[in-house]
Amino acid sequence: MVEEATDEDILGFQSYTIQNINSNLNKGSDIQQYKMTHVRIDRLNNRQMHLDVMCFPTLFLTGRFGEYHPRPVNLNLAEYIKSRILSEESRYRLCHSYLYYYLRIKQIKELKGGIFKLLNTVKGPSMTTAHFVDQVETNGELLEKRLCTMMNTVRGSNQYWYLRRSEVKRMIAEFGSPNFFLTFSCVEYTPDDKREYLHKVDTVPPLYNTCKLCTEDPVSVSRQFSLKFNKMFNKVLIKGQVLGQVREFYYKKEYQARGLLTITVKSK
């Protein structure tokens, strides 16, 4: 007899995995099963093509259309990631491992660009091993300068925020102190518009509360929050001139430790 699954059944099946009927099931606690599972295989090469297709078979069911799939129009890495996580198909942005995978790829690419910028000189100053160790122990100016050049494009690093602080200081020095300073955060889990938006873009059981919806789909939360901020900023502050004429402004988006989007605005 076949019966239709209810929302409670769907929630219960999320903790199950598929096993081969001919395989021997390991018995014991979770930590014991983890110790018994020892994969004997060569490590993956980060430079290997089609790595995303092989690591995420549930997202690429046919084994095609990954990052390196031939297309009539070539897409760079940023365009490809954007087309995946902002597509109508929600399985890509709902897979947190897939998001972190491309976050790591993006950070490695930014670090490579910083290293290329650091070494792209006709003749750089020579440095022995002893001199380098001395620079590390004494926090030397030359080493700090090189690290700043190499890491200033990696979001979240101290060198990245050092440049952002420098931009704000230059703005204050040229135009004076800002008369409007405000910080927006998408930590608000109670608004009904966010819940309606997440139910619209994702197929989820109605029993999910707003907090669980935001946790499972952080991409849609950030996108909806950014759209609200852009509309408010352009129509209210820039065109509406509620606080008077805005001559200069500066705002920055920051993702905090828990992945929450925060926007800081300064205007003059």
Task: Give the tens place of pLDDT for each residue, 164-173.
Answer: 888 888 888 8
Task: Specify if 99 maps to a domain.
Answer: yes
Task: Specify if 3 maps to a domain.
Answer: no
pLDDT of residue 257: 56
Domain of residue 164, residue span: 121-176
In this predicted structure, the answer to whether residue 71 has a pLDDT above a threshold of 80 is: yes
In angstroms, rounded to a whole number, what is the distance separating the alpha carbons of residues 267 and 177? Answer: 9
In this predicted structure, the answer to whether residue 222 has a pLDDT above a threshold of 80 is: yes
Rounded to 5 degrees, φ, ψ at 154 are -85, 110
Q: Within this chain, do residues 80 and 139 fall inside the same structural domain, yes or no?
A: no
Range among 34-38, 209-213, 240-244 rated most confident:
209-213
Q: In this structure, is the dihedral angle defined by the CA atoms of residues 177, 170, 245 and 234, taken in order, positive or negative? A: negative
Q: Within this chain, do residues 76 and 128 fall inside the same structural domain, yes or no?
A: no
Between residues 56 and 119, which one has the greater pLDDT? Answer: 56
In this predicted structure, the answer to whether residue 40 has a pLDDT above a threshold of 80 is: no
In this predicted structure, the answer to whether residue 85 has a pLDDT above a threshold of 60 is: yes
pLDDT of residue 35: 61
Domain-ending residue, one of 82, 106, 130 = 106
| Residue 264 DSSP SS3 | strand
The C-alpha angle 141, 136, 151, rounded to 5 degrees, equals 65
pLDDT of residue 28: 64
Between residues 141 and 69, which one has the greater pLDDT? Answer: 69
pLDDT of residue 1: 46
Contact 152/162 with Cβ under 8 angstroms? yes
Confidence band for 204, pLDDT divided at 50, 70 and 90: confident
| Residue 159 DSSP SS3 | helix
Q: Within this chain, do residues 49 and 27 fall inside the same structural domain, yes or no?
A: yes
- The residue among 155, 152, 181, 187 whose CA lies nearest residue 168 is 181
Min mean pLDDT across 9-13, 152-156, 244-248 is at: 9-13
Confidence band for 6, pLDDT divided at 50, 70 and 90: low
Strands laid side by side in the 261-267 sheet:
180-185, 261-267, 249-255
Between residues 13 and 224, which one has the greater pLDDT? Answer: 224
Q: Within this chain, do residues 265 and 202 fall inside the same structural domain, yes or no?
A: yes
Domain-ending residue, one of 131, 152, 176 = 176
In angstroms, rounded to a whole number, what is the distance separating the alpha carbons of residues 238 and 91? Answer: 37
CA 6 to chain centre: 34
Kindly provide the residue ranges of all beta strands, DSSP E only, lying in 126-233, ordered along the sequence.
Answer: 180-185
Domain-ending residue, one of 137, 160, 176 = 176
Contact 253/262 with Cβ under 8 angstroms? yes
Range among 75-89, 186-200, 245-259 rated most confident:
75-89
In DSSP terms, 184 is beta-bridged to: 263
In angstroms, rounded to a whole number, what is the distance separating the alpha carbons of residues 229 and 246? Answer: 16
Which residue intervals of 43-157 are DSSP H helices?
Answer: 51-55, 77-85, 91-94, 96-119, 129-138, 141-151
Query: What letter represents residue 103's amino acid?
Result: L
Which residues in 241-252 are b (16+ Cβ under 10 Å) and which e?
Answer: eeeeebeeebee
Q: Within this chain, do residues 259 and 206 fall inside the same structural domain, yes or no?
A: yes
Share of the chain above pLDDT 70, in %: 74
What is this structure's pTM? Answer: 0.70
Mean pLDDT of the chain: 76
